[in-house]
């Protein structure tokens, strides 16, 4: 039952490595930027200023990170991009966690054919690189933001499903789920009130491990011009368009690229650390 | 063992059937292919003709069976962009993609495996820590950022290498390095932990306490056993190479299957997309089959067919 | 008076598969057992591991249905597990498990878990005071109710499980090895608690254990199981004072008992019972010190050897009852 490690109340402050502290700091900063985007963007992100095109960073106070080929403020675009990318990643991670956990519970509860079907779908999902699957769906259905989020929401569901199924089966085998069923509780009550809270820490750790992968996936798709569509902007989207100006104005591309790298790095450092603390059994 | 092989084949087959079904369902769900392809202003006669030529006037089940029959006969439809068979278009791009992915795979293995083994044997040293840091960094840097970074340094600033195209062998270097570097650190990390696990086992300590030279113990006991879990990574590596090729070929304007895929998706050239989807699925399933068989051959418990009682 | 719980010729098989190529082989865990439990009565079930006693307990509670035979509660057949009728019936029948830590949700304070059956069955009223009363009835304080399972001792946890089982005032309680995971010093306390609660509430109880000492203390009647069958059933005093079946005699003689030993010590030889390899004839014959040729080929049926005393052995007839020594 190490999988659902119960944390002792925080009597002593845990020793947090410096890089995890930095990672947490970066995450907080990025979240603040995403939430306050409307307040802190110096310019409207689509506003063009054709007099100031391709201004390098740190040249003028008006455009601290410079401007792009249309004279749009890179900082403002970066802030809006962070919001869009995080919104997609959060939405997708949540959808995937809910979908996967539900399917995992269904598999654990019904066993038999349902379980085989879920496991087969999970195998299928794991057998194809997700990028290919995502590209095919985008090709067939065209592109829209809800579709994109929903599509990203399919990413990684099989991992939650496997975890939820395994833990739910072991919860039944260990007794507390059986004991509560035996009290007359409905399966919904057993799964939602007892099993889910018991495995929540493991699921949350998985979310922190999958979240950066979703950011990378979205930015990859947007970079290829197949994700977020202009005039909306996202981190990958900015890198994709900035690439045209790599020889003359590398900053357009470097700013969002740095944010992508730092954010995935921060979330995975914090996620790894959480996993080691809460749940060493996760791969 | 026979049962093991048969179940693996069955699963591989089911996966392919699922992929074909997926393509079929998605194709049908995505709306009327006739209007998508011919455009909403197409004359009704053209739409009717199109529907007839694609068998869209038949019941869904008939369409589904015909779809399967066509695919297993190698008929994957015509590219809507240049009117040539999709399969032909994809096939002629394969050599270019292999020219990138095969050397990249070699590079990945040549860097990742020795680094992982060395790090495990010298646990806690600066090299070991460097491997771990590189693994974390390697995950955080997406391939398109890595690719653009390399372009920025070696093509734009230093001017040593071309930034795109496929004219000379020099053009291949940056794409191969990008593909090879991505995941090499993850491979090293995985090899390291597999190796560490094996080194911690009883039989290794027994072998070394019997007085066998450490080098012999490592070579004849530790490495073969550490290879077993590492083999399972091959499937993952192939998958990451395919996904990586899509991005890298796009960045470097490399005329391979990945670039074709991106263009086909952007143009909604469904036949080509579906053809590549099936190609990738077949590749993945085949490589997973190979992994399963290698695994069966390497793992004596499976080789003898008697699995521990569950 | 109709019995509270009645099992008629119940049998239950499991399918096992031992390896990759193994053939599916049904194992009869319970092989044709009839038992009754009356209100206010405790039936002890004794047997080694693998004798099928836990399976029998699960069928008695309706947690699984028998493949053959019937289980009736209050003369009504047991509804299918998981159905709404089954869930409603849980109010009437409860279980105490061997591992109290496993049976409790380690994330919730125990008081909250004790009142959970009230919530589940929509029993209104002051659930909290009902919970506190239940805590008090098993000898726990309100302060202990606020703790989590891992903050309590093994005996205290088992008291929590008992309090939870009794809060809906069930009429049947099945205890499956309720004290075998506890320290010997704690075992007596929990057993005494169960005896008191049972007498107070007039519960029908099934008490499953491999520990003869405990079963003797708590039971009115005792059934001895061997490889899925009841080999002997009698009033507890009768059975322990004058065990009849060779297997029971071996068990009783091996158990530590207070005072001078009244039964000659019989040592069991041979393999412990394995339900997957059930011997022909009387399942006990390979280990039986008095087995005859007939025992190897023909399985004995349970027979009445004295009023209220049945046994399944070819060597036992009503006339041949072995006197207490």
ipTM score of complex: 0.80
B243 and A124: CB-CB below 8 Å?
no
Q: What is the structure's pLDDT at B308?
A: 37
User: Is residue B226 assigned to a domain?
Assistant: yes
What distance in Å separates the CA atoms of residue C243 and residue C225, rounded to the nearest whole number?
13
The residue behind tokens 């869904």 is B60
- What average pLDDT score do residues A69-95 get? 87
A141–B contact, CB cutoff 8 A: yes
B233-251 and B143-150 are packed helices; what angle lies between their axes, rounded to 10 degrees? 50
**Distance between CA atoms of B292 and C291, rounded to whole angstroms?**
54
Query: Which band of pLDDT confidence, cut at 50, 70 and 90, is reported for residue A282?
Result: low
Q: Report d(CA A132, CA B133) in Å as an integer.
A: 29
What three-state secondary structure class fits C205? strand
* Top-confidence range, A239-248, A262-271, B46-55: A262-271
Strands (E), A62-208: none
Instruction: Give CA angle at B133 (A243, A275), nearest 5°.
Output: 105
Instruction: Give the residue ranges of DSSP H helices in B30-123.
Output: 33-38, 44-53, 60-72, 86-121
Is residue B250 over pLDDT 90? Answer: no
Interface residues on B facing C, Cβ-Cβ cutoff 8 A: 3-4, 305-307, 309
Give burial (CB, 10 Å; 0-12/13-18/19+) of A257.
buried
The boundaries of the domain holding residue B248 are 87-254
CA distance C67 to chain B (A): 25
Residue B291 forms contact with A (CB below 8 Å): no
Question: Which residues on B lie below 8 Å from A240 (Cβ)?
Answer: 144
Tokens of C70: 């019937």
**Could you read off the pLDDT tens digit of each residue along chain C, which spans 325 residues?**
688 999 999 999 887 655 444 556 778 888 889 999 999 899 999 988 878 888 999 999 988 899 999 999 988 999 988 889 999 999 999 999 888 888 898 888 999 999 999 999 988 888 889 999 999 999 999 999 999 998 899 899 999 999 999 999 999 999 998 888 888 888 888 999 999 999 888 899 999 998 888 899 999 999 999 988 999 999 999 998 888 898 998 888 877 665 555 556 666 776 777 777 788 888 888 888 888 888 888 888 888 888 889 999 888 876 555 554 4
What pLDDT, on the 0 to 100 scale, is given for residue B33?
61
Contacts of C19 in chain B (CB under 8 A): 306-307, 309
Give the distance from residue C247's alpha carbon to the nearest chain A alpha carbon, in angstroms: 32
Q: How many domains does the structure of chain C reveal?
A: 1
- Burial code of A102-129, b = ≥16 C-beta within 10 A, e = fewer? bbbbbbbbeeeeebeebbebbebbbbbb
Report the chain A residue with the minimal C-alpha distance to residue B242. A129
B216 vs B220: CA distance, rounded Å: 6
pLDDT tens for residues A115-147? 888 888 888 787 788 888 888 888 777 778 888
Q: Is the pLDDT of residue B78 over 60?
A: yes
| In a domain? residue B305 | no
| pLDDT band, residue A7 (cuts 50/70/90) | very low
Q: Look at domain A17-45+55-278 and name its CATH class.
A: mainly alpha
With beta carbons under 8 A apart, name residues in chain C contacting B309. Answer: 18-19
CATH code of B219's domain: 1.10.3720.10
What pLDDT score does B82 carry?
Answer: 75
Q: Which two tokens stand for residue A279?
A: 């749940």
Cβ-based contacts of B305 with chain C (< 8 Å): 20-21
Q: Within an 8 Å CB–CB cutoff, is residue A122 touching chain C?
A: no
Q: Which residue of chain C has the CA closest to B1? A: C20
Distance CA C318, CA B117 (A): 77
Kindly determine whether residue B11 and residue A135, on different chains, have CB atoms separated by under 8 Å: no
What integer pLDDT is reported at residue C322 of this predicted model? Answer: 55
Taking contacts as CB-CB distances below 8 angstroms, the residues of chain A near B239 are 128-129
Beta carbons within 10 angstroms of residue B70's beta carbon: 13
- Strand C204-209 and strand C42-46: the pairing is parallel
Which residues of chain B neighbour C21 with C-beta distances below 8 Å?
A: 3, 305
Closest CA to A194 of B293, C72, C149, C302: C149
Examine residue B12 and state whether it is found in any structural domain, yes or no: no
Q: Domain range spanning residue C10?
A: 5-19+26-324
* Number of separate domains in chain B: 1
Domain harbouring C254, CATH code: 3.40.50.300
pLDDT at A44 over 80: no
Question: How far is it, in rounded angstroms, from Cα C32 to Cα C35?
Answer: 10
The CA R_g of chain C, rounded to the nearest whole Å, is 21
**Lowest mean pLDDT, pick from A219-233, B20-34, B236-250, B256-270:** B20-34
Domain membership flag for residue B266: no
Cβ C117–A183 below 8 Å, yes or no? yes
**Closest by Cα among A78, A86, A88 to A45:** A78
Contact C19 B309 (CB under 8 A): yes
In a domain, B92, yes or no: yes
Identify the pLDDT of residue B217: 72
Residue B306 to residue C18, Cβ atoms within 8 A: no
Contacting residues for B127 by C-beta, under 8 A, at least 6 apart: B118, B119
Q: Do B305 and C20 touch (CB under 8 A)?
A: yes
Could you report the per-residue pLDDT of B192-205, keeping only the tens digit for each? 888 887 777 766 66
pLDDT at A2 over 60: no
Q: How confident is the model at residue A5 (pLDDT cuts 50, 70, 90)?
A: very low
Chain A residue numbers touching C117 (CB-CB < 8 A): 183-184
In chain C, which ranges are continuous DSSP H helix?
53-60, 84-89, 100-103, 110-114, 116-120, 127-137, 142-145, 154-166, 184-201, 212-218, 236-241, 246-254, 293-297
Mutate to test the interface with C, among A174, A179, A200 (most CBs of C within 10 A): A179
Instruction: Kindly list the residues from chain B whose CB atom is less than 8 angstroms away from the CB atom of residue C16.
Output: none
- Asked whether the beta carbons of residue B306 and residue C20 sit closer than 8 angstroms, the reply is yes
Per-residue pLDDT reduced to its tens digit, A193-202: 888 988 888 8
C317 touching B (Cβ < 8 Å): no
- Cα(B28)–Cα(B13) distance, integer angstroms: 23
The candidate with the shortest Cα–Cα distance to C100, out of C165, C159, C173, is: C159
Q: Do C18 and B309 touch (CB under 8 A)?
A: yes
> Which other chains touch chain C, taking contact as 3+ CB pairs less than 8 Å apart?
A, B
Task: Using DSSP, state whether B55 is helix, strand or coil.
Answer: coil
Q: Look at strands C172-176 and C204-209 and give their pairing.
A: parallel
């Amino acid at each position: 039952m190490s999988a659902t490690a119960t944390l002792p109340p925080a009597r002593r402050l845990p020793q947090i490595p410096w890089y995890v502290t930095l990672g947490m700091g970066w995450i907080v900063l990025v979240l603040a930027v995403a939430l306050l985007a409307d307040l802190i963007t110096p310019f409207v992100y689509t506003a063009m200023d054709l007099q100031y095109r391709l201004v390098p960073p740190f040249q003028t106070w008006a455009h601290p990170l410079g401007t792009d080929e249309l004279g749009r403020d890179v900082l403002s675009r970066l802030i809006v991009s962070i919001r869009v990318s995080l919104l997609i990643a959060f939405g997708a991670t949540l959808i995937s966690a809910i979908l996967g956990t539900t399917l995992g519970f269904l598999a654990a509860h019904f066993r038999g054919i349902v379980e085989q079907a879920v496991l087969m779908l999970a195998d299928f999902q794991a057998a194809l690189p997700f990028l290919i699957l995502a590209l095919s769906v985008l090709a067939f259905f065209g592109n829209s933001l809800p579709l994109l989020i929903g599509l990203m929401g399919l990413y990684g569901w099989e991992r939650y499903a496997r975890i939820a199924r395994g833990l739910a089966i072991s919860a039944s085998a260990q007794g507390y789920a059986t004991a509560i069923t035996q009290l007359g509780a409905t399966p919904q009550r057993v799964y939602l009130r007892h099993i889910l809270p018991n495995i929540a820490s493991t699921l949350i750790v998985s979310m922190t491990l999958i979240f950066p992968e979703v950011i990378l996936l979205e930015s990859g798709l947007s970079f290829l011009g197949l994700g977020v569509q202009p005039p909306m902007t996202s981190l990958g989207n900015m890198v994709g368009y900035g690439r045209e100006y790599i020889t003359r104005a590398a900053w357009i591309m470097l700013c969002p690229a740095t944010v992508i790298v730092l954010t995935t790095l921060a979330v995975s450092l914090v996620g790894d650390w959480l996993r080691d603390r809460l749940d060493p059994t996760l791969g | 063992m026979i049962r093991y092989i048969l179940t693996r084949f069955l699963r591989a087959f089911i996966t392919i059937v699922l992929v074909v079904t997926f393509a079929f369902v998605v194709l049908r769900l995505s709306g009327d292919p006739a209007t998508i392809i011919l455009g909403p202003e197409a004359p009704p006669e053209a739409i009717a003709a199109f529907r007839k030529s694609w068998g869209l006037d038949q019941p869904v089940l008939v369409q589904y069976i015909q779809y399967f029959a066509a695919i297993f006969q190698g008929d994957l439809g015509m590219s809507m962009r240049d009117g040539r068979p999709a399969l032909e278009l994809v096939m002629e791009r394969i050599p270019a993609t292999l020219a990138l992915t095969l050397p990249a795979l070699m590079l990945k293995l040549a860097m990742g495996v020795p680094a992982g083994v060395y790090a495990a044997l010298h646990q806690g040293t600066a090299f070991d820590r460097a491997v771990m840091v590189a693994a974390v960094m390697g995950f955080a840097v997406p391939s398109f950022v890595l690719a653009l970074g390399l372009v920025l340094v070696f093509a734009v600033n230093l001017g040593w290498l071309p930034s795109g195209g496929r004219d000379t062998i020099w053009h291949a270097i940056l794409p191969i390095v990008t593909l090879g570097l991505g995941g090499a650190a993850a491979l090293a990390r995985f090899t390291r932990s597999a190796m560490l696990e094996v080194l911690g086992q009883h039989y290794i300590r027994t072998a070394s306490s019997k007085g066998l030279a450490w080098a012999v113990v490592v070579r004849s006991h530790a490495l073969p056993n550490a290879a077993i879990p590492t083999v399972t990574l091959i499937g993952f590596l192939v998958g990451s190479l395919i996904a990586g090729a899509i991005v890298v070929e796009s960045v470097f304007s490399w005329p391979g299957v990945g670039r074709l895929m991106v263009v086909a998706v952007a143009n909604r050239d469904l036949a080509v997309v579906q053809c590549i989807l099936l190609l990738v699925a077949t590749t993945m399933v085949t490589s997973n089959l190979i992994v399963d068989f290698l695994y069966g051959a390497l793992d004596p418990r499976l080789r003898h067919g008697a699995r521990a009682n569950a | 008076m109709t019995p509270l719980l009645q099992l008629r010729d119940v049998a239950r098989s499991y399918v096992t598969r031992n390896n990759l190529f193994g053939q599916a082989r049904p194992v009869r865990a319970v092989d044709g057992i009839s038992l009754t439990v009356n209100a206010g009565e405790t039936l002890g079930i004794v047997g080694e591991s693998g004798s099928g006693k836990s399976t029998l307990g699960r069928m008695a509670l309706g947690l699984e249905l028998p493949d053959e035979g019937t289980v009736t509660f209050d003369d009504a057949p047991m509804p299918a597990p998981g159905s709404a009728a089954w869930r409603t019936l849980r109010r009437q029948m409860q279980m105490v498990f061997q591992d109290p830590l496993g049976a409790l949700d380690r994330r919730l304070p125990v008081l909250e878990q004790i009142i959970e059956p009230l919530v589940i069955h929509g029993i209104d009223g002051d659930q909290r005071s009902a919970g506190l009363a239940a805590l008090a009835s098993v000898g726990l304080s309100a302060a202990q109710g606020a703790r989590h399972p891992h903050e309590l001792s093994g005996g205290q946890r088992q008291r929590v499980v008992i309090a939870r089982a009794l809060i809906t005032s069930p009429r049947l309680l099945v205890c499956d090895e309720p004290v075998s995971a506890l320290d010997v010093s704690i075992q007596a306390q929990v057993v005494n608690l169960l005896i008191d609660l049972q007498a107070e509430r007039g519960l029908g109880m099934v008490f499953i254990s491999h520990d003869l000492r405990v079963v003797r203390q708590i039971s009115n009647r005792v059934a001895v199981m061997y490889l899925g069958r009841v080999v002997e059933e009698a009033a507890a005093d009768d059975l322990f004072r004058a065990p009849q079946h060779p297997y029971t005699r071996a068990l009783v003689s091996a158990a530590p008992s207070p005072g001078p030993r009244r039964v000659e010590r019989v040592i069991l030889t041979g393999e412990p019972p394995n339900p997957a390899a059930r011997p022909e004839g009387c399942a006990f014959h390979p280990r039986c010190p008095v087995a005859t040729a007939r025992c190897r080929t023909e399985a004995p049926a349970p027979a009445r050897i004295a009023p209220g005393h049945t046994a399944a052995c070819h060597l036992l007839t009503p006339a041949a009852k072995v006197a207490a020594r």
